[in-house]
Structure 1
Amino acid sequence: MALNRKTLTGSALFILALLFVAVLLVSNALLRGARVDLTQNRLYTLSEGTRNILTKLDEPVNLYLYYSDKATQNLPQLRAYYQRVRELLEEMAARSNGNLRLSVIDPLPFSEEEDAAAGYGLQAVPIDANGEKAFFGLAGTNSTKGQAIIPFFRPDKEAFLEYDIAKLVHDLNTTKKPAIGLLSSLPLAAGFDPATRQMREPWAVYQELSQLFEVRALNAAQLKSIDKDIDVLIVVQPKDLSDDAQYALDQFVLRGGHLMVFVDPSAELDDSGADPQNPQAAMMADKSSDLPKLFKAWGVDYARDKVVLDRARALQISGPDGAPVRHPGILGLTKADLSRDDVITANLETINVSSAGYFELAKESTAKLVPLIQSSTDSATTGADRLKFMPDPATLLNGFAPTGTPFVVAGRLEGKFKTAFPERKDEGHLAEAKEANAILLVADTDVLSDRLWAQSTNFMGQRLLTAFANNGDLFINAVDNLTGDTDLISIRGRATSQRPFTKVEELKRSADIAMRSQEQKLQGELSETERKLTELQSAKSQDQQMVLSPEQKAELDKFMKRKVEIRKELREVRRRLDADIESLGTRLKFYNILLIPILLVLGALGFAAWKRRAA
């Protein structure tokens, strides 16, 4: 009987082992590639736009991640970010149906891999004082020998990591870039500056635009029609366009073309009236722009001589005396002023504008103006001429009377438009659009200038831009949207893997407030002591000026004693902060190292005891 029981037990264990192996094999086959993202911000879940781009891959794309593993042994932050980059690339490769092929390469010094990385254009960045360099970049190729790179993965750009990689893959899979027409009287592209007699850099928005699209510059003086293969037309600072040029824009919109217009009541970078021999000419020149016939036909009102002032969104600049002063005509529009319902502005945080105008729907207009960017309710308008010769920005608030309603600085004009030239009988003339269309209108051209949103630096011989506002994103988002490709828009600005200790930061802020209060108190007492010493000194005779009186000495001793006490109080505040942070760390270590494992062990023992009693 005992033998049979042992045999049955052994057979049962063998069968269970076979079932376990079978379950593993079946789950491995059925659940291959399955992943569960349990991170708070779903860092490893690809956004819909990225998945769409990967689904559209119709040919293999090879990605080569070059990372100097040995050289970065002592750089834990960079190594942690490398892990983040690699895991994201592996996730994208797993979701690409085999069309995205990832290779991870450690380019050792003087190796063929290092030569290959340099050949792609990747940058080896110095990482220590001894001149040690490291690679951390991505190169991509397609079947037609197309190449695209990310020269170096910067940890401070982690929020745009997924977008940057998706854009690289998107570019490699796009055989033909969309054609963008550009009609501008502002110097967006690189060229010769006659004022400085030097070559000027292109505006950052133009540089980004030319990387993503095929940009065709149009000549306003010769413009009579828009090529049919142009997907989007961008008009910047249109000044006194001829009827033929406006008619070309009119017919482009009526046939379904996508148009984006930037006008301005006072374009600060408009140098069309500049004369090196007469500096006053530039100051007096008209810097406004308008499309009067087209705006009227489209049912939109725009005042080319009015600027929006916003007391609540005024940015701080240097005043006439060098002291900081807020300029109600230079605005930092926040998330609350941007449309959350439109893909162009949904993920943006800050847009800076300067001497901006506004749009309104005309009476009896059949169109619809959907606001994208608005001023706050604490805003009003003023004449654009007031900003030309204004010595002090604060004077703009003289007589300021807010309307209580926001002004539309940028919007999407939607409708079924009619021609502004019903009298024209040109071949193929359209009197009315067959379908509804949308025109993007922006009442500021300075929004495109580098000075309002990006700081340029030279990084290893390459021009890098550090954005402090989302103006560039606004522009590219708009063009992406008008070309019909919204995949890249949806993946801009993801959360980062950095998880700051919010409780520790809160403790530090509290301590800083306490220390600042004590320091201000000390400074106040110091000022009061200096005042008393000065009064005592002025009461002394000429021959006693260099000798401290008993009253002065007593006052000085009193202050020095109080200074030591306040310094002691400051050290106590800092000591309590360190003690609080250390106590928090100790509790976290106890929870993670002891409490959780103990609870798991007790739970396992309790479950085993329950099973034993049940048997």
Structure 2
Amino acid sequence: MMKSKYLRPLLLVIGVVALNVLAGFFYFRLDLTEDRRYSLSDATRNILDQLDDEVYVKVYLDGDLNPGFRHLRESIRETLEEFKAHSGGHLDYRFIDPSAETDAKKRNALYEALTEKGLIPTNVVEGGQDSRSQKLVWPGALLTFQNKETSVQLLKGNISQSAQENLNLSAENVEYSLATALRELTQKEKKRIGLLSTLSKKLNPVRISDLIVALQKNYDIFQVNLQTSPNLDGLDAVLVIKPDQEFSEDDQLKLDQFIVHGGKALFFMDAVQTDSVGREGVYAQPTNLKIDELLFRYGLRANSVVVKDMLSAQIPLNVGTMGDKANIQLMPWRFYPLLNSYGKSPITRNLDALYGRYVGSLDTVAAEGIRKTPLVFTSAYTQTLRAPAVIPYNEAGRKPDPTQYTGGPKAVAYLLEGKFSSLFRNRLLPDDPRSKGFAVQDKPSKIVVVADGDLALNDFDPKRQVPLPLGFDRFSPDRHIYANKDFILNAVDYLLDDNGVITALTKEFKLRPLDKVEIEENKTVWQVLNLLGPLVFIVLLGGGWYFWRQKQFS
């Protein structure tokens, strides 16, 4: 009996010690949450596994925060803990409160330094009308690796969602944002993207400067003259932005064979060209780029229309005179739609609205073996204006009749995936020198087509002589930056990222808000249950243990 009395505790101690020893050799973590919020994607783990030097992360989101930002901070902390656990000891982090500095001069200097490094603060206003407080919050991070540094903006948002939904959306994006920054810092070889610049004679290079700078963080960018280049070999993808020159048959053949052989492509094209006709308005006429047949073979038809959308941005227009001065006011311009409806794809997951200008529409046609995924839509309240047509500026001053905007959502962007069949099948003669290396069908590929050439263009500030951020709406009350750049970067990542980091965007955290009506009606019941429930549970557990012991040793 005495032996049995000491044997059980001894075996228990030995078992605990053995378990700890084994845990030192065999590392594992279990994620039992329904939405897998503590699980990293395979692509993220692959990046962390390949770290060969120290990565240090400074997160500037700490201090006295409201519940929404505390939730975001904890999501960032939990994700960084997972990163640290899978990094083999090569990653560490800390949280910093920039507002904790009591010296105003030093604090402002820190704010300025963070802004110069690319972090954008958020002004959080809390309280009611009687007592309202403001606090500057910095929901971003700086990552350092081998004397290289990059910034990450961790607060995402959509103009149509509440603050709580946007903070939850930001929590869903944390892994992707941090993993993308890690890839930028640690990658040794970059994919090569060709910008087919000679197809856009009227395009000022400064209008694509913000996009090019963003792409150069992860990719090597080359300007390519499609007319003089014998082919597009050596490139991983090509980027065609707002072409205004005809694609010759040779141009089409080079693009066709590049895609057929597995090259990726992004097209930002206008099916309708718009030109100002003075103070009267804008003249819209169909473009004749002679690439429609190529896209048609791949499964898309670009319509020669301009879409009017009731969900639109505003522009300054002269609505009359006040004395001897023009009366300039911001008016909704329904030809600048805010595109905020998306298809199901990692490319468009958790995006804010896109800023469009004179957008067209796309329809699908039969193309064997090609999977077509719609990416971006207009709102349901649309009209289509078929070119050629004059768009008068006084259109903005007319109150829209919703009963006339019944065109439904129009697809503005598509993703095509599969083995593309060549447009030039049965067209090239055997003795044609261009038939060397020609393939009717070869490797799987992907292309993205957007029926708006301006979607990829940034504006330019003539006073300061600097380009503005891509997607920046200088006329919106909050000077909003729409998600044009994020959309394009996501699309390029999806086309070219073999590791598939973008799959981290499929993570979804479900909001589980409390039922306020239920809480109010049964407030006392819930308070009693929360107070006495744990005590009752402990008493029952202890009683059960006591009676089991009595039964065992009586």
TM-score (norm 1): 0.63
Q: Does residue 476 in structure 1 map to residue 470 in structure 2?
A: no
Q: Does residue 385 in structure 1 map to residue 388 in structure 2?
A: yes
Task: Write the letter of the residue equivalent to 1:89.
Answer: L
Structure with more contact order per residue of length (Cα contacts < 8 Å, sep ≥ 6): 2
In the TM superposition, 1:69-148 aligns within 5 A as: 72=63, 81-96=72-87, 98=88, 100-104=90-94, 121=117, 138-143=141-146, 145-148=147-150
For 1:261, the equivalent position in structure 2 comes to 267
Specify the SS of the correspondent of 2:143. strand
Counterpart among 356, 359, 363 of residue 355 in structure 1:
359
Q: Do 2:59 and 2:94's aligned partners in 1 also have CA atoms closer than 8 Å?
A: yes
Aligned partners of 1:251, 1:436: CA distance in 2, in Å? Answer: 12
Task: Write the letter of the residue equivalent to 2:236.
Answer: D
Aligned partners of 2:507, 2:256: CA distance in 1, in Å? Answer: 39
Specify the SS of the correspondent of 1:502. coil
Counterpart among 233, 238, 249 of residue 238 in structure 2:
233
Q: Does residue 166 in structure 1 map to residue 194 in structure 2?
A: no
Q: Do the aligned partners of residues 584 and 303 (structure 1) sit closer, same or farther apart at CA in structure 2, a change above 3 Å counting?
A: same
Q: How far does residue 416 in structure 1 lie from its aligned partner after superposition?
A: 2.4
Q: Do 1:264 and 1:357's aligned partners in 2 also have CA atoms closer than 8 Å?
A: no
Aligned partners of 2:135, 2:380: CA distance in 1, in Å? Answer: 55
Q: Deviations over 1:500-539 (max 9, x none)?
A: 63312xx4xxxxxxxxxxxxxxxxxxxxxxxxxxxxxxxx
Q: Deviations over 1:216-259 (max 9, x none)?
A: 23356x54345532211011222223525444323423443212
Q: Deviations over 1:406-427 (max 9, x none)?
A: 7685241642214387365259
Q: Do the aligned partners of residues 351 and 587 (structure 1) sit closer, same or farther apart at CA in structure 2, a change above 3 Å counting?
A: farther
For 2:421, the equivalent position in structure 1 comes to 416
In the TM superposition, 1:419-438 aligns within 5 A as: 419=424, 422=428, 425-426=433-434, 428=436, 430=438, 432-435=440-443, 437-438=445-446
Unaligned 5+ residue runs, structure 1? 192-199, 458-463, 508-579
Task: Write the letter of the residue equivalent to 2:214.
Answer: E
Q: Do the aligned partners of residues 376 and 33 (structure 1) sit closer, same or farther apart at CA in structure 2, a change above 3 Å counting?
A: same
Q: Do 2:360 and 2:452's aligned partners in 1 also have CA atoms closer than 8 Å?
A: yes
For 2:38, the equivalent position in structure 1 comes to 44
Q: Do 2:56 and 2:91's aligned partners in 1 also have CA atoms closer than 8 Å?
A: yes
For 1:558, the equivalent position in structure 2 comes to none
Q: Does residue 334 in structure 1 map to residue 341 in structure 2?
A: yes
For 2:20, the equivalent position in structure 1 comes to 25
Q: Do 1:123 and 1:137's aligned partners in 2 also have CA atoms closer than 8 Å?
A: yes
Unaligned 5+ residue runs, structure 2? 126-132, 157-165, 320-328, 460-468
Counterpart among 476, 496, 503 of residue 515 in structure 2:
503
Aligned partners of 1:350, 1:137: CA distance in 2, in Å? Answer: 21
Q: How far does residue 370 in structure 1 lie from its aligned partner after superposition?
A: 1.7
Specify the SS of the correspondent of 2:515. helix
Counterpart among 534, 540, 544 of residue 596 in structure 1:
534
Q: Do 2:284 and 2:387's aligned partners in 1 also have CA atoms closer than 8 Å?
A: no
Q: Looking at CA atoms only, which structure, 1 or 2, has the larger radius of gyration?
A: 1
Aligned partners of 2:385, 2:284: CA distance in 1, in Å? Answer: 19
Q: Deviations over 1:188-228 (max 9, x none)?
A: 8862xxxxxxxx7845x5553333322223356x5434553
Once the two structures are aligned, what percentage of the paired residues are identical?
Answer: 20
Q: How far does residue 490 in structure 1 lie from its aligned partner after superposition?
A: 0.9
Structure 1 or 2: more helix by fraction: 1
Aligned partners of 1:103, 1:400: CA distance in 2, in Å? Answer: 56
Q: Deviations over 1:291-314 (max 9, x none)?
A: 3375278365645533457xxx75
Specify the SS of the correspondent of 2:196. strand
Q: Do 2:306 and 2:359's aligned partners in 1 also have CA atoms closer than 8 Å?
A: yes
Task: Write the letter of the residue equivalent to 1:11.
Answer: Y
Aligned partners of 2:498, 2:61: CA distance in 1, in Å? Answer: 35
Specify the SS of the correspondent of 1:158. helix
Q: Do 1:307 and 1:383's aligned partners in 2 also have CA atoms closer than 8 Å?
A: yes
Q: Do the aligned partners of residues 296 and 180 (structure 1) sit closer, same or farther apart at CA in structure 2, a change above 3 Å counting?
A: closer
Aligned partners of 2:433, 2:92: CA distance in 1, in Å? Answer: 58
Task: Write the letter of the residue equivalent to 2:514.
Answer: T
